[in-house]
Structures are given as structure tokens and as C-alpha cells.
């Protein structure tokens, strides 16, 4: 682990990992996960950029507040963390899945604070009526059977078949991370995702360098969603990682880091 990582600061209510004082990459985790999912990226990229990876409220080591939450709350929490760290911006904002939904909202609310976007395993569209019904069903399961039941229901869909077979450490790690999420966090985030706005109209407005990364075997968000975002975001770059499902940064960390590092070069050149 990179020695420059600062752990949670007790004074600020939100827990986070932070790797130092270079151009900043804000990495926003998915549901129901935490900043722990980015630890390999901090190792791989922490010498190139300052990586700040918050635990969204109700997730990881951050405290929770009563649900429901919204993507606006999550985006504002991230902006507050950057303020607290005295990083006025602009920063490169990366989000995986739900983190991508938050990244879109952050871009809409704070365009001046965004130098670039990394959209990993995410989609632009809002929930369909079936999707919303699925959120309600999962919330009911969480209330009646606990967060472990939600983790058990999600686990078989999160990774590529080869990951279940050959990377059991990754499977266990993802399961533990999900089980560490509080009930309020699960319910709050389900509400945030259910009510999130459609980001499709935002795509044509994005005028910062954008990298889209997707697992070829993502069962939760098919790769066609990434291809559609790539088409709609002018000048964007699309990298599809073979043998990766919904967690490409954990399933194919070296390939993921290479794609991100190549993308980040342009920001370092601008700095020099
Ligand atoms: C996530 O991975 O963040 C969520 O599963 C995304 C979603 O359910 O829409």
C-alpha cells in the first residue's frame, strides 16, 4: 500500500483514502461498496496523481444518515470533501456504476471543478419502471433479511464467470465489502439510484476528456451502454476489458490501471 495514503480524519465526518499532492483523481465507488474497492488503483496510480476515494454516506467507514439519499447528496458530499482537503479543482472525476451516476451529477452541479471524467461500468439512462420495481424489492429484502441477503443476491451478478473460477480472493473481497455497508446505506443508495435523473441529455454537453471503461462480460450493465455513451460524448475514449464483469478495476486491475494511466498522461502534461 502506498505510504502516502492518509486514513480517515476524525474531524471530518466522511472517511476517505488520499494519496498525496499531485493532480487529483476523485474515485467514487459503486453500490453497495466502499473506497476499499480502489486500493489497487491507489497503489498503481498514486505516484502519478493524488487519488481521493471517499466512502459515500452509509458505506465503508463513513457514518450514515437516515435514508433516503440522492445522487445530489452524494455529489455534494464529494464536493465538501474536496473543499475540506482544500482542492478547489478542477479534478478528474471517476466513478464506477453508482459512482458514475454520482459523477454525472457532480459534473452537472460543479462543471468548473471537473477536468476530466472516467466512467467505469456505468450507464447514462435512468431506471426503467422494472428497474425501479427491482430497487423496491431489494429494499424490502434488506429490511426483512438484512444487508447480507442483498450481498448474496448481488454477488453472482457482479463478476465475470472466469473471475468466480480463478480469483476467489476477489469474490470474497467484494462480498465482505458489500456486507460492511450499513442498512441505512443500502436503503439510502437504492433510493438515490431509483430516483436519479436521466443523464443521457448530459452526454452531449460533456466537454472534458472522458474515458469510458467497461467489462466485456458485465452482467449488470451490458457493454452496449458504454458504446452508446462513447457515441454520445464527443471525443471520448472507450476501453472494453475482456474477462471482466461489473468490477473491471478488481477483475483486471493491470489492464484497468494501464487504460487510466494512459488517459491521465494528458493532465500531467498540462501541469508541467
Ligand atoms: C452498482 O454497481 O453501483 C449498482 O449495482 C448499479 C445499479 O444497480 O444501477
- Please tell me the distance between residue 98's alpha carbon and the centre of ligand 1 in angstroms: 5
The DSSP-derived string for the chain is --TT-B---TTSSS-EEE--SSSEEEEE--TT--GGGGHHHHHHHTTTSEEEEE--TTSTTS---SSP--HHHHHHHHHHHHHHTT--S-EEEEEETHHHHHHHHHHHH-GGGEEEEEEES--SS---HHHHHHHHHHHHHHHHH-HHHHHHHHHHHHS-HHHHHH-HHHHHHHHHHHHTS-HHHHHHHHHHHHTPPP-HHHHTT--S-EEEEEETT-SSS-HHHHHHHHHHSTT-EEEEETT--S-HHHHSHHHHHHHHHHHHHHHHHHH-
- Please tell me the distance between residue 100's alpha carbon and the centre of ligand 1 in angstroms: 9
**In the prediction, which pLDDT does 8 show?**
57
**In the prediction, which pLDDT does 6 show?**
58
- Please tell me the distance between residue 269's alpha carbon and the centre of ligand 1 in angstroms: 34
- Inter-helix orientation angle 183-194/147-158, to 10°: 60
Cell of 21: 499532492
pTM, 2 dp: 0.94
Which atom of ligand 1 has the smallest separation from the CA of 122? 6
**In the prediction, which pLDDT does 2 show?**
42
**In the prediction, which pLDDT does 270 show?**
56
The C-alpha atoms of residue 79 and residue 74 are separated, in whole angstroms, by 9
Q: Which residues line ligand 1 (CB under 6 A)?
A: 30-31, 97-98, 193, 220, 246
CB 118 within 8 A of CB 260: yes
**In the prediction, which pLDDT does 17 show?**
79
Ranges of residues in the chain with a pLDDT under 50 are: 1-4
**In the prediction, which pLDDT does 1 show?**
39
**In the prediction, which pLDDT does 65 show?**
96
- Please tell me the distance between residue 97's alpha carbon and the centre of ligand 1 in angstroms: 5
pLDDT, tens digit (0-9, with 9 covering 90-100), for 63-77: 999 999 999 999 999
List the residue whose alpha carbon is closest to atom 5 of ligand 1. Answer: 31
Q: Tell whether domain 3-271 is in CATH 3.40.50.1820.
A: yes
Domain definitions of the chain by residue range:
3-271
**In the prediction, which pLDDT does 7 show?**
59
Amino acid at each position: 500500500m502506498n505510504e502516502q495514503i492518509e486514513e480517515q480524519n476524525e474531524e471530518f465526518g466522511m472517511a476517505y483514502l488520499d494519496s498525496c499532492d499531485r493532480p487529483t483523481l476523485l474515485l467514487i465507488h459503486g453500490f453497495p461498496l466502499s473506497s476499499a474497492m480502489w486500493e489497487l488503483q491507489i497503489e498503481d496510480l498514486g505516484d502519478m496523481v493524488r487519488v481521493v476515494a471517499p466512502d459515500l454516506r452509509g458505506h465503508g467507514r463513513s457514518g450514515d444518515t437516515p435514508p433516503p439519499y440522492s445522487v445530489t447528496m452524494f455529489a455534494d458530499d464529494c464536493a465538501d470533501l474536496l473543499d475540506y482537503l482544500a482542492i478547489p479543482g478542477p479534478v478528474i472525476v471517476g466513478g464506477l456504476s453508482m459512482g458514475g451516476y454520482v459523477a454525472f451529477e457532480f459534473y452537472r452541479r460543479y462543471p468548473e471543478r471537473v477536468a476530466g471524467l472516467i466512467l467505469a461500468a456505468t450507464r447514462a439512462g435512468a431506471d426503467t419502471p422494472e428497474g425501479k420495481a427491482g430497487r423496491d424489492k431489494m429494499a424490502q429484502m434488506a429490511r426483512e433479511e438484512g444487508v447480507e441477503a442483498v450481498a448474496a443476491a448481488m454477488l453472482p451478478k457482479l463478476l465475470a464467470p472466469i473471475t468466480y473460477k480463478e480469483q476467489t480472493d476477489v469474490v470474497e473481497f467484494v462480498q465482505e465489502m458489500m456486507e460492511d455497508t450499513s442498512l441505512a446505506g443500502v436503503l439510502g443508495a437504492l433510493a438515490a439510484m431509483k430516483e436519479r435523473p436521466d443523464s443521457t441529455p448530459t452526454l452531449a454537453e460533456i466537454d472534458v476528456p472522458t474515458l469510458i471503461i467497461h467489462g466485456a462480460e458485465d452482467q449488470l450493465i451490458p457493454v452496449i451502454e458504454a458504446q452508446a455513451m462513447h457515441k454520445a460524448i464527443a471525443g471520448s475514449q472507450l476501453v472494453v476489458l475482456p474477462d471482466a464483469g461489473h468490477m473491471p478495476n478488481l477483475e483486471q486491475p493491470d489492464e484497468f490501471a494501464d487504460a487510466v494511466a494512459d488517459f491521465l498522461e494528458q493532465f500531467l502534461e498540462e501541469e508541467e
